[in-house]
């Protein structure tokens, strides 16, 4: 019985050590989440207004200005930008993003994929590792953006995609990321990054009347890349907050599971201990009875 008791004691110590780690990770993620949540909350209204303005400009230009980044053409070559995290232990966060990216490829671009004309630009180590190991064509310069996240790093990745599109090396760019709702909820999104999408006009709705100063050509050439940079930066801030929220929730559940397991193990330990004591008492009584006999 002593061997069984020792095994249960060791398991209890192991679970307690794991629980200390999960509680510490939850606290760290909670602290990081507050900062990440503040960043995306402040950024989101600005980015959404810029995106709305860009879509309106594209919709109302009617070919009267050269907009290389809004050019619609037959899709031969595709780029998928997938924003995952650098670290694991955040539940199904990364696997859901990777699954969504592969679903988009299978549903929208199966012919291009079969011809080897789909490439993935991963942001985040987990996405980079997965797509590299599973035989995808991978752009490997930008996966470590979250190691000191900044607008400049995201801008470099966005510029790579925009240059490839403008040079007709790529005909469509899809963006896969997780939109932050709250600590327990993320929404996994696939949206068109390039070409710039037009606004779907409601019947009877008037065109937005923009006054351009300086000229429309100059302004759009300057404005469009900046808005797209902001769009990708917003997606990375969303993903950053989503990652910490997912990890905090996962560590909270892990701590709760550890509590339940500890309860079960302690019951097992007490039962084994009681059985050992009963056996020892029985042996003592039997020994005493034998001596008296």
Residues catalogued as catalytic: 90
How far does the chain reach from its first CA to its final CA, in angstroms? 29
Rounded alpha-carbon distances, angstroms, from residue 36 to 29, 43, 162, 198, 264: 10, 11, 27, 30, 37
Supply 99's token pair: 């699954």
Q: Tell me, what DSSP letter sits at residue 135? A: T
Q: Do 251 and 21 meet the contact criterion of CB atoms below 8 Å apart? A: no
C-alpha to C-alpha distances, 213 to 47, 57, 210, 218, nearest whole angstrom: 21, 14, 10, 9
Q: Smallest Cα–Cα separation from 186: which of 48, 36, 24?
A: 36
Q: Look at residue 81 and give its three-state secondary structure.
A: strand
Distance CA 67, CA 208 (A): 18
123 CB-near residues (< 8 Å, 6+ apart): 81, 82, 83, 84, 142, 143, 145, 146, 154, 157, 236, 239
């Amino acid at each position: 019985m002593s061997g069984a008791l020792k095994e249960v004691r060791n398991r209890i110590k192991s679970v307690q050590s794991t629980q200390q780690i999960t509680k510490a990770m939850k606290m760290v993620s909670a602290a990081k989440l507050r900062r990440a949540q503040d960043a995306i909350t402040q950024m989101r209204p600005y980015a959404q207004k810029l995106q709305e303005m860009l879509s309106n400009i594209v919709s109302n230009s009617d070919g009267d200005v050269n907009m290389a980044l809004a050019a619609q053409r037959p899709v031969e070559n595709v780029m998928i930008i997938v924003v995952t995290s650098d670290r694991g232990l955040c539940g199904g966060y990364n696997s859901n993003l990777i699954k969504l990216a592969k679903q988009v490829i299978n549903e929208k671009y199966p012919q291009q994929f079969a011809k080897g004309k789909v490439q993935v630009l991963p942001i985040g180590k987990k996405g980079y590792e997965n797509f590299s190991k599973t035989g995808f064509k991978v752009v490997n310069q930008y996966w470590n953006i979250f190691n000191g996240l900044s607008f400049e790093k995201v801008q470099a990745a966005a510029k790579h995609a925009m240059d490839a599109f403008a040079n007709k090396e790529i005909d469509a760019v899809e963006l896969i990321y997780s939109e932050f709702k709250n600590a327990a909820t993320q929404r996994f999104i696939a949206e068109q990054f390039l070409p710039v999408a037009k606004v779907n006009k409601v019947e009877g709705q008037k065109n937005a009347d923009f006054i351009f100063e300086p000229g429309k050509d100059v302004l759009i050439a300057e404005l469009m890349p900046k808005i797209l940079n902001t769009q990708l930066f917003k997606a990375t801030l969303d993903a950053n907050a989503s990652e910490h929220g997912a990890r905090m929730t996962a560590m909270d559940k892990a701590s709760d599971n550890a509590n339940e397991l500890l309860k079960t193990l302690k019951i097992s330990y007490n039962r084994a201990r009681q059985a050992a004591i009963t056996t020892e008492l029985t042996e003592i009584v039997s020994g005493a009875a034998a001596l008296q006999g």
